[in-house]
């Protein structure tokens, strides 16, 4: 029996042989699980037998390496190969003609293999499909793409069985549906195999000697203590939630690094070569600490990590368990982790996360409904392979769990979109990308379509990234227009949206140092070294992932149970007691709304605990309503727990005199017309639409050389959004974007659930001044960008400011 | 400009009241179908969207003359792809008006069946209208699609704009599918010589003026 590097006996998951369906072993430890599954799945050697799919190509390569050794040692006649974006063309061609016994690959590569004529030859002998880190795949559009690929495989190789592997799943039964063909109507699941016996992790919260900050995410107060922990352990992984936090923390740790400990930085926008260097040093055991982001949540086991530190909010219990699992891969020993909350609210979040981990309570999001833009990509892929009949493909697609309830209308609209754009105005018949032959089978009309599909396959739409280069500051500094030296050392890449918010002369932290933004020339951002200790632009853009609904619920329950406060640090206990004295601590089901005057403005603060994204959307909609009620709102700021709106109108007075009805203000009907009006303008909605336009293949992101030589290949999707919204509001791409908005950047579903939960349960506190609970939110004003879409007023204000400057 | 008073309309059109002349630039009609013929199936509603915005600004000023300042059609065959409805809408706008198509690099030749007259440039008093800017004094041109990013409280806003130093001007593109070129691009420095020109930025219902050096 093939085993891993150390000899700990490993409990083998036993798929139930009786039904022969797929199986989902939910295993609590990471290391050798894949061995067991793939190792025992191979029995003979003729054609492709086992397909292994992982979300990370590095993981596929790692597993392949670990499989090859025992296969070679035992002299088994088994050929193991990987296929990723890095695989040379010659080997890819050979793999098609002479497939290995075991192929390790990614969902995108599977889609590419399926979109070819020889897919039936390649896959007809398939027996086993192993899906690794399945929980990480199924919650995204990549999972949709994978599910459609599985549906194809079940048609080509009905004998194939799928096995899913996951260490963190909230509802294994739901995930298990993903692994077997859905029969239409009813729902079937694979068997669930749970491997137990792993030692529970030891997790504690840092009980800081310092004063706990009211707000902010840097956890600077606790850095000496974090440094001590790194010093006392062999190798420590320090997780933070965002790239910019990683930058700041790394810089701060270096400043206090009197012992010269080898501490490195690792995040997704660093140069690849630099990341590889860090990974190699880590694997060689040369590093004492690595500051990293979710870029290391999953994946390759490198080095001997003995402690995980999580700085800031855990966001979700499964996410945190995944991170903690990075420490100590010996199955029978406990992983150790320390949580470092950066502010008082985060203490509450850490406390409930520790309880959740002790109960092994998972909170991965539920299975998604399959997205229509991904389906469009798949339909085009199918047409690139063998021609298909609509009826047959419709039936096949519905065997994929995320698409089990897909309506025929949606399916036909998607096919129409792939063919001619799906427009009510039928003018593109002659430009069709796919056409039906006499038997009604859809096929690609020309080889360029196939080529473009191959170049653009996949569902990960990256932000437009700009290259950051370090140059010398030009003379004159701010506002100067002199030429800057080109070239310069490449520091890494940064999101275009972030740079768009900067003015030349602004400073920010990048690559572990404070730099000054000099200029943007094409796709290059030129920065110079700034001598400032602190960056002017904090660039905390918020975590990508909001606080999970599950942890939010637990935080609300903790607040409501004052006896449980005793377990919290004294500072937090006192803070909550003060809140109870001066205002009120919100009960589990209610929404607390506080109003108070402060510095000439009037504030309204509420505490929905639904995460920043949902709060931002709520803020947009509330300010619209307050404007209509003549409360003259000026702005709002949202964090993970609260939303604060301020304005000119005396909100307390308006509520007292009945001019403003809170129940009406928070009425769920705001998700009707107000939302519609806002969506027309919303930059977030436009970004959501852009993703759909790219994934569906309306707009290409990668081009053939011939296309590149022609200018004007790029096209702004914002312009398409505006025109389409006005002239065909029910277009399939707008439908796809709307359904993304429910869970994505606007988090509408969560907002809608919250509004129904609190309806009729609003408690208003009319206060003379700011409450203890409101302080953190108010402190974020000025530090966070103030949201508002009234761009014309902002333009007018900026223009007037200039006039004042010029005339005084 | 050159002692002539122009109204910069927030739609991106320019109005010369004494002459009852409305100027629009870079309509790029049928850009959608032009992309579609190359396999990018953009929504086929750009022409109707552009023409209805043009109809609105014409209704606001009711000009006797209209100049379309070049690149009115996205490619040489674009005029032939106009739908019957769009053709009629265009004819209705031209009715009882002097209509001048200036030739652009995208549409160097236009058939007479489109109505109006075709010219490479037009001079009225001290002002010359041509498609590609040369930097000459008294010139109003298009071609470059100027846009400006304005820093405001909390974030920056990017919009199309007029670029002018009082001697010459470059008009924003009017078409629904037209992108833009930042006024900090070297192309504008070549025309205006120095960054001492203004960006008249298109707002939702008015135009806001900024020194170009303050935009980026």
Q: What is the 3-state secondary structure of A531-586?
A: CCCCCCCCCCCCCCCCCCHHHHHHHHHHHHCHHHHHHCCHHHHHHHHHHHHHCCCC
Listed range (A213-222, A281-290, A292-301, A335-344) with the worst mean pLDDT: A292-301
Decide if A501 touches B, using CB distance below 8 A: yes
Does A414 have pLDDT greater than 60? yes
Domain locations in chain B as residue ranges: 7-214
* Alpha-carbon distances of A803 from A795, B156, B158, B206, rounded to whole Å: 12, 18, 20, 17
pLDDT value of residue A711: 46
**Cα distance between residue A377 and residue A149, in whole Å:** 11
pLDDT value of residue A789: 45
Write out pLDDT tens, residues A85-140.
778 889 988 888 889 999 999 999 999 999 988 899 999 999 999 999 888 888 88
Query: In terms of C-beta density within 10 A (0-12 exposed, 13-18 middle, 19 or more buried), how is residue A797 classed?
Result: middle
User: Which chain B residues are within 8 Å of A716, Cβ to Cβ?
Assistant: 179
Average pLDDT over every residue of A680-690: 81
User: Which band of pLDDT confidence, cut at 50, 70 and 90, is reported for residue A500?
Assistant: low
CATH of domain B7-214: 3.60.21
The distance of B96 to chain A (nearest Cα, Å) reads: 29
Greater pLDDT, A142 or A6: A142
Beta bridge partners of A339: A205, A310
Does A242 have pLDDT greater than 50? yes
Greater pLDDT, A208 or A302: A208
Residue A238 DSSP class:
E
Residue of A nearest to B158 (CA): A500
Residue A634: closest CA among A803, A781, A800, A783: A781
Residue of A nearest to B74 (CA): A712
pLDDT value of residue A503: 67
- φ/ψ of A408, rounded to 5, equals -65, -35
pLDDT value of residue A634: 77
Work out the number of other CB atoms within 10 angstroms of the CB of residue A74.
10
Residue of A nearest to B153 (CA): A794
Those of residues 786-805 in A touching chain B at CB distance below 8 A are 786-788, 791-792, 794-799, 802
pLDDT value of residue B4: 87
Does B154 have pLDDT greater than 60? no
Chosen from B8, B28, B33, B41 to mutate, greatest number of chain A CBs within 10 A: B41
* Alpha-carbon distances of A402 from A53, A184, A395, rounded to whole Å: 18, 12, 13
Residue B47: closest CA among B75, B14, B73: B73
Cβ contacts from A onto B, under 8 A: 122
Decide if A562 touches B, using CB distance below 8 A: no
CB contact under 8 A, A503 and B151: yes
H-run or E-run covering B169: strand B169-170
User: Which band of pLDDT confidence, cut at 50, 70 and 90, is reported for residue A736?
Assistant: very high
Average pLDDT over every residue of A636-650: 87
**Cα distance between residue A185 and residue A173, in whole Å:** 17
The distance of B124 to chain A (nearest Cα, Å) reads: 32
User: Which band of pLDDT confidence, cut at 50, 70 and 90, is reported for residue A328?
Assistant: low
Q: Render A273-339 in DSSP notation, one character per residue.
A: HHHHHHHHHHHTT--SEEEE-GGGTSS---S---EEEEES----HHHHHHHHTTS---TTS--EEEE
Does A329 have pLDDT greater than 70? no
The distance of B20 to chain A (nearest Cα, Å) reads: 28
Decide if A520 touches B, using CB distance below 8 A: yes
CB contact under 8 A, A719 and B83: no
Half-sphere exposure of A417 (CA within 13 A, CB side): 29
Does A511 have pLDDT greater than 60? yes
Mean model confidence pLDDT for chain A: 82
Listed range (A32-46, A594-608, B119-133) with the worst mean pLDDT: A32-46
Does A15 have pLDDT greater than 50? no
**Cα distance between residue A142 and residue A53, in whole Å:** 12
Q: Which domains are seen in chain A, by residue range?
A: 23-195 (3.40.50.300), 202-358 (3.40.50.300), 372-460+683-742 (no CATH), 465-529 (no CATH), 583-672+749-788 (no CATH)
| pTM, full prediction | 0.83
User: Which band of pLDDT confidence, cut at 50, 70 and 90, is reported for residue A196?
Assistant: low
Those of residues 381-420 in A touching chain B at CB distance below 8 A are 420
Average pLDDT over every residue of A132-153: 92
For B152, the closest of A425, A722, A798 (CB atoms) is A798
Q: Is A464 left (phi over 0), alpha (psi -120 to 50) or beta?
A: beta
Question: Which residues, 6+ apart, have CB-to-CB distance to B95 below 8 Å?
Answer: none
CB contact under 8 A, B40 and A794: no
For A425, the closest of B39, B40, B44 (CB atoms) is B44
The two three-digit tokens of residue A471, written as one number:
């140059």
Please report which residue ranges of chain B form alpha helices under DSSP H.
31-36, 46-61, 84-94, 186-192
pLDDT value of residue A349: 93
Q: What is the ipTM of this complex?
A: 0.92
Residue B144: closest CA among B113, B115, B168: B168
Beta-strand pair A128-131/A161-164 = parallel
Start-to-end C-alpha separation, chain B: 24
pLDDT value of residue A637: 81
Most confident of A264-278, A363-377, A483-497: A363-377
**Cα distance between residue B216 and residue B182, in whole Å:** 7
Is residue B50 within 8 Å of residue B27, measured between CB atoms? yes
**Cα distance between residue B20 and residue B61, in whole Å:** 8
Beta-strand pair B146-151/B156-164 = antiparallel
Greater pLDDT, A63 or A376: A376
**Residue carrying the six token digits 């800081």:** A208
In chain B, count H helices and then E strands. Answer: 4, 15
Q: What percent of chain B has pLDDT over 70?
A: 98
Chain-centroid distance of CA B201 in Å reads 14
Is residue A57 within 8 Å of residue A84, measured between CB atoms? yes
Does A36 have pLDDT greater than 60? no
Is residue A163 within 8 Å of residue A25, measured between CB atoms? yes
Write out pLDDT tens, residues B67-106.
999 999 999 999 999 999 999 999 999 999 999 999 999 9
Is residue A748 within 8 Å of residue A671, measured between CB atoms? yes
CB contact under 8 A, A500 and B177: no
User: Which band of pLDDT confidence, cut at 50, 70 and 90, is reported for residue A300?
Assistant: low
Does A52 have pLDDT greater than 50? yes
The distance of B156 to chain A (nearest Cα, Å) reads: 6
User: Which band of pLDDT confidence, cut at 50, 70 and 90, is reported for residue A542?
Assistant: very low
The two three-digit tokens of residue A690, written as one number:
């852009």
Most confident of A214-218, A295-299, A332-336, A572-576: A572-576
CB contact under 8 A, B156 and A699: no
CB contact under 8 A, A795 and B42: no
The distance of A380 to chain B (nearest Cα, Å) reads: 13
User: Which band of pLDDT confidence, cut at 50, 70 and 90, is reported for residue A29?
Assistant: very low
CB contact under 8 A, B40 and A420: no
Most confident of A520-524, A671-675, A751-755, B183-187: A751-755
Average pLDDT over every residue of A771-797: 66
């Amino acid at each position: 029996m093939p085993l891993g590097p150390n000899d700990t006996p490993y409990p083998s998951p036993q798929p139930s042989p009786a039904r022969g369906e797929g199986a989902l072993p939910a295993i609590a430890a990471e290391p050798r699980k894949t061995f067991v599954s793939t190792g025992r799945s191979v029995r003979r050697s003729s054609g492709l037998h086992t397909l292994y799919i992982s979300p990370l190509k590095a993981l596929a390569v790692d597993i392949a390496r670990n499989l090859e050794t025992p296969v070679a040692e035992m002299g088994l006649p088994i050929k193991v190969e990987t296929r990723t974006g890095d695989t040379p063309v010659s080997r890819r061609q050979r793999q098609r003609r002479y497939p290995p016994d075991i192929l390790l690959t990614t969902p995108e590569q599977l889609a590419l293999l399926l979109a070819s004529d020889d897919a039936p030859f390649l896959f007809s002998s398939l027996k086993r499909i192993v899906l690794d880190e399945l929980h990480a795949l199924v919650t995204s559009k990549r999972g949709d793409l994978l599910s459609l690929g599985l549906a194809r495989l079940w048609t080509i190789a009905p004998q194939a069985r799928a096995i899913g592997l996951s260490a963190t799943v909230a509802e294994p039964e739901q995930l298990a549906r993903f692994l077997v063909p859905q029969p239409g109507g009813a729902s079937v699941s694979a068997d669930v195999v749970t491997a137990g016996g792993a030692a529970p992790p030891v997790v504690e919260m840092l009980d800081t000697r310092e004063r706990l900050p009211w707000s902010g995410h840097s956890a600077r107060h606790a850095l000496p203590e974090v440094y001590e922990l790194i010093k006392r352990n062999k190798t420590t992984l320090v997780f933070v939630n965002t790239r910019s936090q990683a930058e700041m923390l790394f810089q701060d740790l270096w400043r206090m690094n009197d012992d010269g400990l080898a501490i490195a930085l690792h995040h997704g926008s660093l140069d690849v070569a630099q990341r590889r260097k860090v990974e190699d040093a880590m694997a060689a055991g040369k590093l004492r600490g690595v500051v990293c982001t979710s870029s290391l949540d999953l994946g390759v086991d490198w080095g001997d990590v003995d402690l995980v530190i999580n700085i800031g909010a855990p966001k979700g219990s499964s996410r945190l368990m995944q991170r903690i699992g990075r420490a100590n891969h010996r199955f029978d020993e406990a992983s150790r982790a320390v949580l470092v909350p950066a502010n008082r609210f985060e203490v509450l979040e850490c406390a409930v996360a520790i309880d959740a981990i002790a109960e092994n309570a998972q909170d991965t999001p539920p299975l998604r409904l399959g997205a229509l833009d991904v389906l469009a990509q798949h339909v085009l892929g199918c047409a690139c392979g063998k021609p298909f009949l609509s009826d047959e493909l419709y039936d096949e697609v519905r065997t994929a769990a995320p698409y089990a309830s897909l309506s025929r209308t949606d399916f036909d609209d998607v096919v129409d979109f792939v063919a001619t754009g799906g427009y009510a105005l039928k003018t593109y018949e002659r430009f069709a990308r796919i056409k039906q032959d006499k038997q009604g089978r859809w096929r690609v009309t020309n080889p360029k379509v196939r080529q473009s599909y191959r170049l653009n396959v996949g569902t990960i739409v990256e932000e437009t990234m700009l290259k950051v280069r370090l140059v010398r500051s030009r003379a004159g500094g701010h506002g100067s227009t002199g030429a800057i030296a080109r070239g310069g050392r490449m520091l890494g890449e940064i999101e275009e949206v972030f740079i768009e918010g900067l003015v030349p002369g602004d400073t920010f932290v990048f690559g572990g140092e404070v730099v000054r933004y000099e200029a943007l020339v094409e796709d290059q951002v030129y920065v110079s070294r700034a001598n400032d200790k602190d960056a002017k632009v904090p660039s905390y853009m918020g975590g990508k992932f909001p606080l999970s609904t599950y942890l939010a619920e637990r935080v609300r329950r903790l607040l409501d149970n004052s006896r449980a406060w005793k377990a919290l640090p004294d500072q937090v206990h006192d803070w909550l007691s003060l809140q109870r004295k001066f205002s009120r601590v919100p009960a589990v089901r209610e929404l607390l709304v506080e109003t108070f005057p402060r510095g000439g403005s009037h504030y309204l603060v509420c505490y929905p605990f639904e995460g920043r994204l949902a709060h931002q959307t709520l803020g947009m909609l509330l300010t619209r309503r307050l404007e209509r009620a003549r409360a003259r709102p000026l702005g709002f700021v949202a964090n993970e727990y609260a939303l604060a709106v301020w304005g000119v109108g005396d909100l307390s007075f308006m509520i007292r005199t009945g001019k403003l009805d809170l129940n009406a203000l928070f009425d769920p009907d705001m998700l009707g017309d107000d939302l519609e009006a806002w969506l027309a303008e919303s930059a977030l909605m436009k970004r959501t639409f852009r993703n759909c336009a790219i994934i569906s293949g309306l707009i290409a992101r990668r081009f053939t050389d011939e296309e590149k030589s022609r200018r004007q290949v790029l096209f702004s999707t914002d312009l398409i959004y505006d025109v389409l919204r006005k002239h065909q509001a029910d277009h399939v791409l707008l439908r796809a974007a709307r359904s993304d908005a429910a869970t994505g950047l606007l988090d509408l579903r969560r907002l809608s659930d919250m509004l129904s939960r609190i309806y009729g349960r609003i408690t208003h506190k009319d206060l003379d001044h700011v409450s203890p609970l409101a302080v953190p939110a108010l402190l974020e004003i000025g530090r966070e960008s103030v949201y508002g879409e009234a761009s014309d007023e902002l333009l007018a204000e900026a223009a007037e400011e200039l006039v004042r400057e010029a005339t005084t | 400009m050159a002692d002539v008073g122009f109204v910069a309309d927030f739609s991106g059109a320019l109005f010369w009241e004494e002459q009852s002349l409305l100027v629009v630039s870079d309509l790029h009609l049928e850009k959608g179908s032009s992309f579609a013929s190359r396999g990018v199936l953009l929504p086929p509603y750009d022409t109707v969207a552009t023409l209805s915005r043009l109809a609105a600004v014409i209704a606001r000023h009711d000009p006797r003359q209209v100049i379309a300042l070049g690149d009115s059609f996205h490619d040489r065959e674009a005029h032939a792809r106009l739908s019957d409805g769009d053709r009629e809408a265009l004819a209705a706008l031209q009715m009882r008006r002097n209509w001048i198509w200036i030739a652009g690099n995208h549409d160097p030749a236009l058939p007479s069946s489109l109505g109006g007259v075709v010219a490479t440039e037009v001079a009225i008093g001290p002002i010359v209208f041509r498609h590609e800017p040369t930097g000459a004094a008294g010139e109003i041109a298009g071609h470059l699609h100027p846009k400006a990013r304005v820093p405001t409280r909390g974030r920056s806003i990017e919009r199309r704009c007029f670029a002018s130093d009082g001697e010459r001007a470059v008009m924003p593109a009017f078409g629904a599918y037209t992108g833009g070129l930042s006024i900090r691009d070297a192309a504008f420095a070549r025309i205006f010589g120095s960054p001492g020109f203004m960006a008249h930025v298109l707002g939702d219902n008015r135009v806001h003026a900024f020194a170009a050096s303050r935009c980026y």
